Amino acid sequence: MGGSGSRLSKELLAEYQDLTFLTKQEILLAHKRFCELLPPEHRSVEESLQIRVSLEQILSLPELKANPFKERICRVFSTSPARDSLSFEDFLDLLSVFSDTATPDIKSHYAFRIFDFDDDGTLNREDLSHLVNCLTGQGEDTRLSASEMKQLIDNVSSRAGPGSQREGLGLGLKLSLPQILEESDIDRDGTINLSEFQHVISRSPDFASSFKIVL
């Protein structure tokens, strides 16, 4: 195997170790896995640190394959201008955030960015419905219906849109549902910003253990 012969230098390894939440072994393993994605002629250490791997190749990793957020994850961690490729350092960043020892702070920060599909710095209704669709599966039959989605994301009774008017008669009047926006949008601007998001996340002790990718 080409990857086994080429090792990172000691200084670089120490630096990576200082700047990420990964252990030495994990960094070495990550490098090995990263090199396996490269074509055989580019597997030397110097080249592996420079070259970028395209999104498709990263997405073919078994650890990411089944993840519905895989593309978002790669885009968030990519530093290339077009956000379509990952260098080894980006890859390490990704693994560091998803590692065991990363702080909840940084985990929730990146979770927020992953869920922020349009990259505008807040989670608005479109982001939320996109997120729910990712969670329930993208297929037509697996999605939530439009009314369910609306009900889930924001409060039917208080937002009087043309669609919710009808529902408002049936069930919306008493239905001051503390749904997602109700529950987490503290300043009531219709979107969820980072601190509101982190506030919600802090209530779930399982977040840190589920927001984890083991290489």
Partner 1 sequence: MAQPLNFVLNVPETPEDHSSQEPSPYDESEVHDSFHQLIQEQSQWVAEEGLELQQREPGPGGPETSGCGQHALPGPEDALAHSAATLRVLASMPSRTIGRSRGAVICQYYNRSVRLRRRVSRPELKGVGRSARPSLRLYDLELDPAALQEEEKRFLLVKELEGLPVAQRNHMLRGMPLGLAEKRCLREETQTPTEKQRGRQGPRGLFPCCGRLRDACVLALHSLGLGLLAGLQALKPWRHALKQIGGQFGSSVLSYFLFLKTLLAFNALLLLPLLAFIVGVQAAFPPPAPPGSVPSFMGLELLTGGGRFTHTVLYYGYYSNSTVSQPCVPPPGGGQCSREADSLPYSMPLAYLFTVGLAFFITCITLVYSMSHSFGESYRVGSTSGVHAVTVFCSWDHKVTQRRASRLQHDNIRTHLKELLAEWQRRRGSPSACGQLRRVAVRGLVWLLSLGTTLGCTVAVYAFSELMIKSPVSVEQEGALLALPVVVCLLNLGAPYLFRCLAALERHDSPVLEVYVAVCRNLILKMVILGILCYHWLGRRVGTLKDQCWENFVGQELYRLMVLDFIFVLLDTLFGELVWRLISEKQLKRREKPEFDIAGNVLELIYGQTLTWLGVLFSPLLPAIQIVKLLLIFYVKKTSLRANCQAPRRPWLASHMSTVFISLLCFPSFLGAAVFLCFAVWRVKPSSTCGPFRGLNSMYEAGKAWVRHLEEAGPRVSWLPWVHRYLVENTFPIYLVSALLLAVIYLHIQVVKGQRRVICLLKEQISNVSALPPPARPQEALFAPQMTPGPAGGRTKRSGSEAAPPWGALRDRAPALGGCGSRPRQRKAAFSGRRPRGAAVSVRVLEVLEIALGLLGGPAPGHGPCSLPSFSKQVE
What residues between 118 and 157 interact with partner 1 by CB under 8 A? 119-122, 128, 131-132, 134-137, 142, 144, 148, 151-152
Using CB under 8 A, which of 116, 117, 130, 164 touches partner 1?
116
Contact 106, 95 (CB under 8 A): no
Q: Which residues in 1-60 contact partner 1 (CB under 8 A)?
A: 7, 10-11, 15-16, 18-21, 24-25, 28-29
Contact 168, 160 (CB under 8 A): yes
Residue located via tokens 């955030």: 97
Distance CA 13, CA 1 (A): 21
Q: Which is nearer to partner 1, 24 or 39 (CB)?
A: 24
Q: Which residues in 76-95 contact partner 1 (CB under 8 A)?
A: 77, 79, 87, 89-90, 92-93
Using CB under 8 A, which of 36, 47, 63, 84 touches partner 1?
63
Number of Cβ atoms within 10 Å of the Cβ of 206:
7
Smallest distance from partner 1 to CB 126, Å: 14
Number of residues that bind partner 1 (CB under 8 A): 96
Distance CA 50, CA 39 (A): 13
Q: What angle, rounded to 10 degrees, do the helices at 88-97 and 24-37 form? A: 130
Q: Which residues in 154-213 contact partner 1 (CB under 8 A)?
A: 158, 171, 174-180, 182-189, 191, 193-207, 209-213
Beta-bridge partners for 85: 54
